[in-house]
Chain A
Amino acid sequence: MIASAHSMPNDRTPDQQPIDRFGKLCLLPCCFAWILLCSALTAHSASSSTIDFGRQILPILSDNCYACHGPDDQARKGGLRLDHPEDAFKPAKSGKPTIVPGKPEESELLKRLHTTDPDDAMPPEKFGKKLSEGQKALLKQWIAQGATWKQHWAFTPPVRPVPPPTRNTSWARNNVDRFILSRLEREGIKPSKEADPVTLIRRASLDLTGLPPSPDEVEAFRNDKRPDAYERLIERLMKSPRYGEHMAKYWLDAARYADSHGYHIDAERHMWKYRDWVIDAYNKNMPFDQFTIEQLAGDLLPEPSVDQKVASGYVRANMSTGEGGAIVDEYQAKYTFDRTETTSTIWMGLTMTCARCHTHKYDPITHREYFGLYSFFNNLKEAVMDGNTPNPDPAIQVPSPDQKERLDSLRKWIAEGKTKVERAMPEIDEAQTAWEKSWRTRLAQAWTVSRPQSFTATSNAQHQILDDKSVLVTGPNPPQDIYSVVLRSEAGPFAGLRLEALPDDSLPQKSSSRADDGIFRLSEFEADYTLPGADGKPGETKSLKFSQAIADATVKDREADKAIDGKPETGWQAFSAASKSAATVLFLLKEPMQMPEEVELRLRMKFQASVNKRAIGRFRISSAQSEDLAYALAPPKPDPWHVLGALKAGNPIETLNSPLDPEKKVDLKQTFQGVREEARWNAKADLEDGKNHVLVSSLHGVHGIYYLTRNLNARQEQTVEISVRADDVFRIWVNQEQVGERLVKEKPGEGPLKTTVRLKKGDNQILIKAVNVQGNSRFQFSMSPMDESILPPRIAVLLASPGQMPPDQQTELKNHFRRVKSPEWRKDNEQLAAWREEESGLNKAIPTTLVAREEMEKPRETRILMRGEYDKTGDVVGRGTPAVLPPFPKDSPTNRLGLARWLLMPSHPLTARVTVNRFWQQFFAVGIVKTSEDFGVQSEAPSHPELLDWLATEFITSGWDVQKVQKTILLSAAYRQESRHRPEVSARDPENRLIARGPRFRVDGEMIRDTALYVSGLLVEKQGGRSVKPFEPSGLWEAVSFNNSQKYVVDEGDALYRRSLYTHWKRQSPPPNMLLFDAPTREYCVVKRPRTNTPLQALALLNDPQFVEASRAFADRMLKDGGRNDESRLRYGFRRATGRPPTKAELDVLKESLAVQRAAFMGKAEEASKFLKVGNFAATSDATAEELAAWSAVASMILNLDETLTKI
């Protein structure tokens, strides 16, 4: 496959580089031309025969010698250093002087370069580098001239140069031009003439807004005869909100912004608020110093605003992981590397990565200095393992004004609703009192207090049994203990056990605990019993499985169910301080059982969740053995759920409406063809009622149809309310009769679907069919009786507890009774619940964004990491900046804020140069320094060094005014030149480094797509917001994601037509039509995109549904708005895309193509309508399908024109 690549990061092979630069041998025309330019450049810097150290000698030394004779003392050979004059002029270890100024013949350096003795020859053969004769000659000449030594240009602060005089005094429009023209004059090249107004407005519009101008804008500009019309145009474009969107794209490449975490699962991440902040900053023309400070250290500013915190998301935009097995320290180091190196590349054009493992081989940056910078970023308080959640800590909520308003309303309504449901309802409350009293009496009689048969403790503690059958423990009191108690249980129904912790005057602080502070903590409560065997021998031992533990007193995170969770490290604790009150906890079986005869119950009370002697000092045990209680505790008895899935699903509603076997009859033994493999019914005991379960996880689940079924055994006919939630759409049957359905995915605030059903006595079958197509799919089921005579278990427990009920339990009881008795109250309560749901949904919907936050305590210690390995630590390093750069400002804090200020010091040689160079690169395709990512010793020399320094100083003195410096560039005559190639000039300077013509290059992928949407009228110009998912071929995410579970679900409506900047960016599967056009993956910092020209790009522009749809919309627009005949319509279309009217010859080709396409679709209405169905756009012109199809093909042709895709 062929492919071309111009403007590559580096076109030449490393071996060629030094050769190219000084020019003896050349293989490629572009290199050749550049050699000529470089020589000319050199000639400019000094008189024609004087060698410029920085531009001519340093690159040779750096590239060929520094790996062994450079800054890295670990790698240094022969004790020789060639990166410092004091060392280079000293005699080397051999005793021979390396460089003797003025005396090449005495300089060992030259001898070593020329010798044929393999022992002495430099560079050594195995190093694989060889100096050309030209380079050797240059070195000789330099030494002969006195071997003047200068610091690498980029490490000395820019000094504002005086624009040079030029022979032609009329061409230059501003100072930029004087530098350009002076250089062109030296080359004997005339600048190109100014481009015509149509070209100018299109060029500037693309460069400043990323979109072409509309024909009206072109006309207006053509007709604007004011002398400053062009300047006004630039100002208008910079004021457009599109400006910020376009500029942000470049910055987001560098800041490695994306909508996913990056490593491993690569789950969704929310930080698009940061993206919007960048857009806003450009649109406000935020000064670059503020722009820098807020991103690097917004969180460290005094009382930072929400926006400043959002800006600090820059620091967190690096990739993160949630991979199982990953080691936190390792990733913490990786993140910090990335932050250090990204910041160095963006602001300083320094390639810090080298110094991660050892002192830089070329640039004067030591290994220690690297970690000095690293330590600025090594104090973040963050969740290193991102948990695959969208907003790993720290993240902040950033509500929109609408969200804030709604939230305020909801809060008000909730308060009102709460008052309403809590109001007194005398009649009902009275009835409740009677109801409650009758139940309490019935239930109180149901508890049988048991006198323990025996008590032992692992501590050998002693005990006495008091009159009330409680046990008082005394004697040895170790840190932890386990009590064993044996009780006798009668034959008959058995529903659970009650444990009372009772205070006693003999216990510490008169509490119920043996601990000095009077607090007990029960870590586990277990019970088992042994049934007699056949021949009198002990039979099988069974343990009682408690499903619920409810206490009348508990502290947070130490609830009663912690005593039955099987984890010794957790436990039930009733009080947070010593209390003289009793505490009761009920341990209930999932369902009552029948004890066949009197048995011994063996209980174990464990106190192992603490080492502070937290055993209970006095307790009493009762068992629930009355028929009444057992019944009250057992409303319809549910079997566990059985789940079947995932079965193949298509369109959700259609799938829901197409009955499969389970709808007719549930056969738990039946098997089905599943999405992947054979599917069968599986019992799912863990789908607990009333809780939210993830039925299908968006990260590793399988979407499709799920059936859930269970049996409910009712002791009598009764009414219950069931409440179900099962995204996305679902339907419910009870005993094969449909009782509810949800055909649209649950909306925020909607809550579970509730339906009241009548159960028959005996078995009742519930069946739910859920069709899940995207995202996390929840499942929730709960059921509550609607009959006063039946108690839900929880209510029964409350009524069965002796003693005073705490207020929340009283409310629970009251609400239960009111719900059953009063439809009016039920309505109010449901409304309240809905508001609460909405509030919680809205809270979740409020965008969050990752921010930076310092660790509060003293900064984390930073140590040098040997060879950059996280687990090989060396010396402790303090925060600091490289010695070659200006000293850290004394009045600045040594944190990220200080670092930002340091970068912005006017004496800092890099920040301004690197930044203006990127602007230049944006507009001219190649920077003044071509290696915009590297300004170090190995960088390519600037084409116009004085211009670079002039722009840099201009930028600083303007107060870092981004638009001002950009405007200066855009107003120059250099920028306004036409971009036609002049063969004799292009042969010498194919990359247009001399700026002898205007810029001309294929625009970025985002601009291509945006242009297609814009000219066709599809573009939806909405600013900011959550990232969107326009058309993308299906299956791309699945192919690479864990269990093929992540799916790209194409959005609907406006979201399909937003600017590409807003497209959801998943790092491990970025939008393919952007990657094909050289967009980076956003895994790491990229400050320069390559620009290739490949057949895959052609295929995308011709066949990607987004472009096919845009062609149709464009065709429709031509037909409607382009006038009455073919010619005017074609003219209109051509103008919209290219800005200019077609020439006669071009119009002929367009007409011919239209005729050919008409012929191709004639009589093929069916084919044509297939073509017209791609995408969602519905045409409104009255053309026939054949006609619209023909026009769409022509529209596609116009959108594919080189001129449409190119900034000219």
Chain B
Amino acid sequence: MNLEFERRLLSTRRQFFGRTATGIGTAALASLLHRRSGAADAPAGPSYPLQSLHWKPKAKRVIYLFMAGGPSQIDLLDPKPALDKYHKQELPASVRMGQRLTTMTSGQASFPVVRSIFNFKKHGQAGMEISELLPHISSISDDIALIRTVNTEAINHDPAITFIQTGFQQPGRPCMGSWLSYGLGAANENLPAFIVMISSGKESDQPLYTRLWSSGFLPSQHQGVQFRGVGDPVLYLSNPPGVDSTSRRQMLDGLAKLNKKHFEAFADPEINTRIAQYEMAYRMQTSVPELTDLSKESESTLDLYGPDVKKPGSFAYNCLQARRMAERGVRFIQLYHRGWDQHGGLPRRIREQCQDTDQPSAALVKDLKQRGLLEDTLVIWGGEFGRTVYSQGAIDKDNYGRDHHGRCFSIWMAGGGIKPGMVLGETDDYSYNIVKDPVHIHDLNATVLHQLGLDHTRLTYRFQGRDFRLTDIHGELVKPVVG
């Protein structure tokens, strides 16, 4: 792709639309400009600022499998054999270093270390050590990059999840999906650029927040559109009962006629934009059901995702939906799966969580790969923090709990130019502190933007006199994982 050529082409178009913009409305302008899909797709307009991407992107879209609640890295992805030795012993002060704890455990009289009851084995060519809880993810170890040293300052759910998704612990900033929608626009004009799905598993303890898919101070069309497992996939998508598509079409025709007359009288380009939006809404009524209709998926594909795949709202169902959205050019597909907040009863509950999520997560990567989509789709799996090596509450033979731990936790990524089959970062014997290669969540976010052709320091938006960005004033590219 010749970026310079693309840029010139765009500026020519802008000149053209610049002259006639008052005639067709800024929205229509934006629409025409970002209708094309492709690597250098750079919509422009008042709310799409980029003239071109900052560099050639490796990924065109992101699927973010967000494991809300804070999965236990010690039981899943960060094996700590030394804990056999330290089991039930007090966590040494030299490790804990007086760091702040949540008030759920800061009052505990002691902090006994608890080893994982789950076994880890080496997988794939890299010999990636993964817990027996994740057999399917283990099977794609050669496709993923595992980072064991992600870290955050937040220690509770609300601030932590807000932080990792928006770069700030307090509400008000746009989330990653909104930044991407703003920076990249949509590649499919019949679908939103940024879609959110929430799955319901066996547990769904910790709440989520609309702000996690909010556009903050960015123009509000960049907010994530929630696709739902119950009712209309998109709010208000269906015609009212008893109204068929034909009579709706006829009604919209009448509406367009009246609005056109109104435009003739007032010449306000927004009127034409409104006409276009009603047309778009009508088209969405077809494109969304087509998107969510799984009837044409082959049995082998359905099998790949596991038995829950036909259950709307399940994680497996949403993973398959995510692949279908990726195929159709949706830029940012955010899945939330709750239930990882295992302060107590961790062994039983983490097993259930893994039953819900392991197979579909791996299936998504496999499915993307077999369709040639993994190459330019970045898949991310991870939560807002990890969990403590010390037990919250009593340690039984087959029961223990872990509190929140932000000083190190594990995530994995696949596709979109991420180096496959590698492990980055090392934590100490307790998975408490980082020994080597820390990756702050700002670094992670900078890296995601980087893969999409965006310089996190240059994707900015001016608000209250300041140029804001997803990574605030931080963030370094995590070079080892981008090859």
Write the residues of chain A forming the contact surface with B, with a CB cutoff of 8 angstroms.
1-6, 8-14, 16-17, 27-30, 32, 128, 262-266, 319, 321, 323-328, 334, 337-338, 351, 353-354, 361-363, 676-677, 700, 871, 931, 933-934, 936-939, 979-983, 986-987, 990, 1000-1002, 1033-1035, 1039-1044, 1067-1070, 1072-1073, 1075-1076, 1078, 1081, 1083-1084, 1090, 1092-1100, 1102-1105, 1108, 1143, 1145-1146, 1149-1150, 1152-1153, 1156-1157, 1160-1161, 1164, 1166-1174, 1189, 1193-1194, 1196-1197, 1200-1203, 1205-1206, 1208
* The residue from B11, B51, B198, B242 contacting A1171, defined by CB atoms under 8 A apart: B242
B156–A325 contact, CB under 8 A? yes
**Residue B428, interface by CB 8 Å:** no
B: interface residue count bin: 35 or more
**Residue B230, interface by CB 8 Å:** yes
Produce 1/0 per residue, B272-291, CB < 8 A to A: 01111110110011000000
A325–B258 contact, CB under 8 A? no
**Residue B257, interface by CB 8 Å:** yes
Of all chain B residues, which has the CB nearest A1069? Answer: B210
Give CA–CA (A362, B465) in the complex, Å. Answer: 8
B103–A326 contact, CB under 8 A? yes
Tell me the minimal C-beta distance from A1130 to chain B in angstroms. 12
Write the residues of chain B forming the contact surface with A, with a CB cutoff of 8 angstroms.
11, 14, 18-19, 21-22, 25-28, 30-31, 34, 44-47, 49, 51, 100, 102-105, 155-158, 170-172, 186, 188-193, 198, 200, 202-211, 214, 217, 219-221, 223, 225-226, 228, 230-232, 234-244, 246-248, 250-251, 254-255, 257-259, 261-263, 265-271, 273-278, 280-281, 284-285, 403-404, 457-458, 460-467
Give CA–CA (A1157, B280) in the complex, Å. Answer: 22
B228–A1152 contact, CB under 8 A? no
A14–B460 contact, CB under 8 A? yes
Of all chain A residues, which has the CB nearest B276? Answer: A2
8 shortest A-B CB distances, which residue pairs? A4-B27, A938-B465, A325-B102, A2-B31, A1171-B242, A3-B221, A1170-B242, A1153-B254
B274–A1143 contact, CB under 8 A? no
Chain B residues, Cβ within 8 Å of A1068: 207-211
A1174–B240 contact, CB under 8 A? yes
* The residue from A29, A265, A1145 contacting B207, defined by CB atoms under 8 A apart: A265
A1099–B242 contact, CB under 8 A? no
Chain A residues, Cβ within 8 Å of B105: 325
* The residue from B172, B259, B285 contacting A1201, defined by CB atoms under 8 A apart: B259
Of all chain B residues, which has the CB nearest A338? Answer: B170
Chain A residues, Cβ within 8 Å of B207: 264-266, 1040-1042, 1068
A-B contact pairs, 19 of them (CB 8 A): A4-B27, A5-B221, A16-B49, A30-B26, A32-B18, A319-B171, A327-B155, A351-B466, A981-B268, A1090-B219, A1093-B270, A1108-B240, A1149-B257, A1150-B254, A1152-B254, A1156-B251, A1171-B242, A1174-B241, A1189-B242
* The residue from B210, B236, B280, B461 contacting A1081, defined by CB atoms under 8 A apart: B210
B31–A1193 contact, CB under 8 A? no
Chain A residues, Cβ within 8 Å of B158: 263-264, 321, 323, 326
A1208–B18 contact, CB under 8 A? no
* A325-B22 contact, Cβ under 8 Å, with A14-B460, A1202-B262: no
Give CA–CA (A1193, B254) in the complex, Å. Answer: 11
Given known contacts A1067-B210, A1172-B242, what 8 new A-B pairs fall within 8 Å (CB)?
A264-B156, A324-B104, A362-B465, A980-B266, A1081-B171, A1098-B277, A1102-B236, A1168-B242
Tell me the minimal C-beta distance from A338 to chain B in angstroms. 8
Tell me the minimal C-beta distance from A464 to chain B in angstroms. 40
B189–A1 contact, CB under 8 A? yes
B44–A1196 contact, CB under 8 A? no
Chain A residues, Cβ within 8 Å of B265: 980
Give CA–CA (A982, B268) in the complex, Å. Answer: 9
A1044–B102 contact, CB under 8 A? no
A1193–B278 contact, CB under 8 A? no
Chain A residues, Cβ within 8 Å of B211: 1068, 1081, 1083
* The residue from A334, A1092, A1108, A1205 contacting B220, defined by CB atoms under 8 A apart: A1092
* A1095-B284 contact, Cβ under 8 Å, with A3-B30, A1000-B268, A1202-B259: yes
B467–A14 contact, CB under 8 A? yes
Chain A residues, Cβ within 8 Å of B274: 1093, 1098, 1202, 1205
* A1149-B234 contact, Cβ under 8 Å, with A323-B158, A1160-B246, A1202-B271: no
Tell me the minimal C-beta distance from B387 to chain A in angstroms. 12
A1157–B251 contact, CB under 8 A? yes
B234–A28 contact, CB under 8 A? no
* A128-B30 contact, Cβ under 8 Å, with A10-B463, A27-B14, A1102-B236: no
Tell me the minimal C-beta distance from B274 to chain A in angstroms. 5
* The residue from A266, A353, A1002, A1149 contacting B464, defined by CB atoms under 8 A apart: A353
* The residue from B28, B198, B217, B271 contacting A1040, defined by CB atoms under 8 A apart: B198
Tell me the minimal C-beta distance from A952 to chain B in angstroms. 20
Tell me the minimal C-beta distance from B288 to chain A in angstroms. 10
A11–B46 contact, CB under 8 A? yes
A5–B193 contact, CB under 8 A? no
A1197–B27 contact, CB under 8 A? no
B254–A6 contact, CB under 8 A? no
* The residue from B230, B246, B262, B403 contacting A1035, defined by CB atoms under 8 A apart: B230
A938–B103 contact, CB under 8 A? no
B267–A1146 contact, CB under 8 A? no
A29, A1143, A1146 — most chain B CB neighbours (10 Å):
A29
* The residue from A6, A1001, A1042 contacting B26, defined by CB atoms under 8 A apart: A6
A1034–B231 contact, CB under 8 A? yes
Chain B residues, Cβ within 8 Å of A11: 46-47
Chain B residues, Cβ within 8 Å of A676: 202
B205–A1043 contact, CB under 8 A? yes
A334–B170 contact, CB under 8 A? yes
A936–B465 contact, CB under 8 A? yes
* A1167-B244 contact, Cβ under 8 Å, with A1084-B172, A1153-B250, A1202-B262: yes
A979–B266 contact, CB under 8 A? yes
Tell me the minimal C-beta distance from A458 to chain B in angstroms. 22
B236–A1 contact, CB under 8 A? no
B243–A1002 contact, CB under 8 A? no
A981–B22 contact, CB under 8 A? yes
* The residue from B241, B250, B267 contacting A1157, defined by CB atoms under 8 A apart: B250
Tell me the minimal C-beta distance from B299 to chain A in angstroms. 28
Of all chain B residues, which has the CB nearest A357? Answer: B473
Give CA–CA (A284, B128) in the complex, Å. Answer: 71
B247–A1002 contact, CB under 8 A? no
Of all chain A residues, which has the CB nearest B339? Answer: A1043
Chain A residues, Cβ within 8 Å of B248: 1102
Chain A residues, Cβ within 8 Å of B285: 1099
Chain A residues, Cβ within 8 Å of B18: 27-29, 32
Chain B residues, Cβ within 8 Å of A677: 202
Tell me the minimal C-beta distance from A256 to chain B in angstroms. 10
A28–B46 contact, CB under 8 A? yes
Give CA–CA (A12, B270) in the complex, Å. Answer: 19
Give CA–CA (A1007, B462) in the complex, Å. Answer: 29
Of all chain A residues, which has the CB nearest B266? Answer: A980
Give CA–CA (A1090, B214) in the complex, Å. Answer: 13
A4–B281 contact, CB under 8 A? no
Of all chain A residues, which has the CB nearest B103? Answer: A325
Tell me the minimal C-beta distance from A290 to chain B in angstroms. 28
* The residue from A1043, A1075, A1160, A1201 contacting B247, defined by CB atoms under 8 A apart: A1160
Chain B residues, Cβ within 8 Å of A1075: 210, 220, 223
A128–B458 contact, CB under 8 A? yes
Chain A residues, Cβ within 8 Å of B263: 1202
Chain A residues, Cβ within 8 Å of B214: 1081
Chain A residues, Cβ within 8 Å of B14: 27-28
B208–A1040 contact, CB under 8 A? yes
A1099–B237 contact, CB under 8 A? yes
Chain B residues, Cβ within 8 Å of A1150: 254, 258
Give CA–CA (A1173, B241) in the complex, Å. Answer: 8
Give CA–CA (A1184, B172) in the complex, Å. Answer: 51
